Structure 1
Amino acid sequence: MTQSPQALCHALIDAAKRAGADAVDTMVATGSSLSIEVREGKLEQAERSEGIDLGLRVFVGQRQAQVSSSDSRAETLTTMAERAVAMAREAPEDPHVGLASADQLAQDWDIDALELYDPSPEPAPQTLQEDALQAEAACAAIPGISQVQGAAAGYGQQSFHLATSNGFSGGYQRSGRSLSCTGIAGTGAGMERDHDGDSRTFQADLRSAADIGRTAGERAVARLDARRPKTGSYPVLFDERVSSSLIGHLLAAANGAAIARGSSWLQGALGEQILPKGLSLIEDPHRPRISGSRPFDGEGLPTQRRAIIDQGLLTGWTLDLASARKLGLQSTGNAARGVGSVPAPANWNVTLTQGEQSRDDLIAAMGTGLLVTSLIGSTINPNTGDYSRGASGYWVENGLIAYPVNECTIAGNLRDMLARILSANDARPHLSRVVPSLLVEGMTLAGS
């Protein structure tokens, strides 16, 4: 690649305008990644990739088309532009598509304050392998571990640039470092597995390999001799490892695209009580060193801190330009996009209000019920909010963990479940979704 992502974006805009486009936006992403996997003390797989991806969206009147390529040669840019314009001319008209107006575009931002890129050198393959081996050894050392399925370490860095034909041009870099391990306890039909891992923007923030491997091993051993729980109606405590999935269902229902389609169980619920009073769900795309942070969205609009739920009340939808226009509203700066896809609404970093009690306090308070640490599959009705998922975890009796359980199903209705959640105080602050363990009273449990 001889041109920068910024130069390529503007070259694509020029080519599209020459081809007959009325308006254009472009995105160029470059990056590299390195991943190492080990098994039984030996290197299992090493993979490195480097690449560039170019995306071009053109508008001809109220018709749009999107094309992408991984070839940055000048003749390819011309071909992309010509094909995109030809496609747009054949596309159906959509009164809601189009670029942002100039006064909506982000004007300035402090990318350094977000700390999205670790300037330290890329780790050598040997360093990643040593970390993975250390995690594997720590897992294997836990009594009861029969084998370590594998351990992996990785590093990646990306550069993004977005430009539009009406004046927006901006970009930034990201980096990421990860480490994971999966342990297996028992043998045959009694085999159980569990894992642990960490992913951070800065290498210095990553948990130690020994801690990750040890935790993976301890979790796997704790699942041995699992039983099926009793069928009935019981309180269910969603462990912090899986509780963010409940909030994910809420975010999906508050997505402007779902609202515009009329396919959301939150349809018509604006301003209503969704969570218990005292709980708020705050979106903040400006948290430093967090994967969901960004200075502007996929349409060049400034991102903003906002309360999706304020003291239990639903305050608004998550909107990009198209969904906002369909609903007669303003974009919330939540357009997400890939190089090869048109924008769609998505959430950035969200934080749910934490409670005053620990997870252990909630276990003690629930009496008899289920602590869920893993969820399998899902059946979620987007229109009604009816919820059913396979689950495993631990049975609680008299406020104490009694034994591991698996092969059960938990069911309820999301609107009812969320209205009566009780939050613990154990959320991990470095995640993009900061959600503590959540206790839901009276769910239907199907077991033995």
Structure 2
Amino acid sequence: MDGANKIIDQAQEILSRKPIDGYEVYFNQSSHFDIESKDGKIETLQTDQYLGMAFRILNHQRMGFSYTTLSNPFPSAPQNFSGELDRRIEDAIRSAEATSPDPCFDFAPELKASLPELPIFDEALEGISEKIKIEKAKDLEASAKAVDPERIKKVRKASYQEVLSKTTLVNSNGLRYSYNHSLASASVTAVAEESGESEMAWDFDASHFFNDLDVEKVGRSAGRRALERLGGKRIPTGVYPVLIRNHVASEFLSLLAHSFFADQVQKGKSPLRGKQGERFFSPLLTIVDDGLYSKGIATAPFDGEGMPSQRTPLVTQGDLTHYLYDRYWANRENLFSPGSRAGSTGNSRRHGIKSPPGVGISNFFIEPGDLVLPKLMEDFLHGVVVEEVMGLHTVDPISGDFSLGCSGDWIDRGQKVHPVKSIAIAGNLFELFRGVIGVGDDLRFFGAVGAPSLLIKELFISGN
């Protein structure tokens, strides 16, 4: 039996002696490795080990929470953590006493079927030498500079990162399940300079498997995009068709995610409340949350409270079909909405060890269309391709209204003419997704959110 299981067993033994109705133990053990290259030399090399446990206690319909982090948990000599675990469990019991009873609290049932084996762990990653990983970071930096050594003057934060983790969830209903997860990523920012003008661009790649990372492609992309931003001009103020590139479309989509959360819907904070079955978005849009998506970084066999992950269609050809639930908010809907048969969609998410789980996305994305980028642009008489937006944090998540600085390219008769900068786009988030008239085939994920390029019928652009 390994050290992690011994600690979990210690916790369960303590919990079994407490006068409580139920419990849940969440255990996460991870290692982190970060490298940053600058001017062909290693600027940063850092490794970290982390182990944490979180407890949820259910007693008289009251839920309590506590957590602990353990240092050097697996020394050569056996170590007993019973004292620390007992203190944290007592903290959870006391926190439950301070809350109000709520019949909607419960824990996930024991799994009745085996969960799928998912391609989310690179067994070879830990055995790959540090030297090879250092070369990845150096190649990333060199690839960005090689695009144009005369104009790519600087490369910032050419970094390689990896995380190896093991997650275990145990509860008093008999649930006990573990899975391993790995993620390797590379990112770089290139700076292009010409005639006193300076422009930056960033790109990245991430995969569960080390050998799938293409650092040269990432470096070339960042360098090329920085060069393409040079020589930007302003354009006349007006209403134009707009092509939003996939990375920007993903940023807009991430703002939409909260509107699908059952807690936001039930609290009246989502414009999607009461809209199930209605055409709320463009008929060209299908939006999905898929915790089993093979290449997604948020892919896992179960969610933050032990419910099996699943694929949930949220919008089908523009029609709102579903919301995202954890167990609590599904129970609450069923309690207060007679006839409701809501159930968890496997969307309980933990954002670290220090807070209890809540409703969240897994791999949240717009399904791709079949239009290549030139096809999306060919019907433009005049229009703008948006490559970057600034100030997304200012978007009102309830009303959806926005006014954002942006940059991109001016399109004339389907062809890029020149870069544009110092402009702003204004509109409404929900109207933007209703106004989609073309969907690209270039789905790409940025974190747990993915989108293809989207052609928008029109947006107001403030320029000259």
TM range (shorter): over 0.9
Query: What letter corresponds to residue 244 of structure 1 in structure 2?
Result: S
Per the alignment, residue 330 of structure 1 pairs with: 343
Structure 1, residues 90-119: CA drift from partner, whole Å, max 9, x if none?
Answer: 22333432223x3xx53333443x111011
Per the alignment, residue 46 of structure 1 pairs with: 45
Per the alignment, residue 458 of structure 2 pairs with: 442
Structure 1 residues 293, 15: closer, same or farther in 2, change over 3 A?
A: same
Per the alignment, residue 376 of structure 1 pairs with: 390
Match of 1:420 among 412, 435, 438: 435
Matched, 1:181 2:196: no
Distance 2:32 2:40 in 1: 23
Distance 2:116 2:185 in 1: 23
Structure 1 residues 308, 106: closer, same or farther in 2, change over 3 A?
A: farther
Q: TM-score, normalised by structure 1?
A: 0.92
Partner SS state of residue 296, structure 2? coil
- Cα RMSD of the aligned pairs, angstroms, is 2.2
Q: Any unmatched runs of 5+ in structure 2?
A: 74-80, 335-341
Q: Which moved more, 1:233-242 or 1:90-99?
A: 90-99
Structure 1, residues 183-218: CA drift from partner, whole Å, max 9, x if none?
Answer: 1011696211102211100112111x2222122111
Per the alignment, residue 126 of structure 1 pairs with: 131
Distance 1:211 1:3 in 2: 40
Contact (CA 8 Å) 1:265, 1:382: kept in 2 or not?
no
Contact (CA 8 Å) 1:231, 1:447: kept in 2 or not?
yes
Structure 1, residues 12-41: CA drift from partner, whole Å, max 9, x if none?
Answer: 233234333321111010011111101111
Contact (CA 8 Å) 2:105, 2:328: kept in 1 or not?
yes
Contact (CA 8 Å) 1:233, 1:443: kept in 2 or not?
yes
Distance 2:321 2:11 in 1: 39
Q: Any unmatched runs of 5+ in structure 1?
A: none
Structure 1 residues 238, 261: closer, same or farther in 2, change over 3 A?
A: same
Matched, 1:361 2:383: no
Partner SS state of residue 271, structure 1? coil
Distance 1:380 1:16 in 2: 45
Matched, 1:216 2:222: yes
Match of 2:242 among 236, 246, 250: 236
Structure 1 residues 380, 96: closer, same or farther in 2, change over 3 A?
A: farther
Per the alignment, residue 121 of structure 2 pairs with: 117
Distance 2:461 2:206 in 1: 33
Distance 2:20 2:408 in 1: 56
Instruction: Give runs of aligned pairs for residues 10-409 of structure 1, distance below 5 A.
Output: 10-71=9-70, 73-100=81-108, 102=109, 105-112=110-117, 114-122=118-126, 123-143=128-148, 144-186=151-193, 190-207=197-214, 209-328=215-334, 329-337=342-350, 338-378=352-392, 379-409=394-424
Structure 1 residues 349, 356: closer, same or farther in 2, change over 3 A?
A: same
Structure 1 residues 126, 326: closer, same or farther in 2, change over 3 A?
A: same
Structure 1 residues 405, 77: closer, same or farther in 2, change over 3 A?
A: same
Instruction: Report how many aligned residue pairs link the two structures.
Output: 442
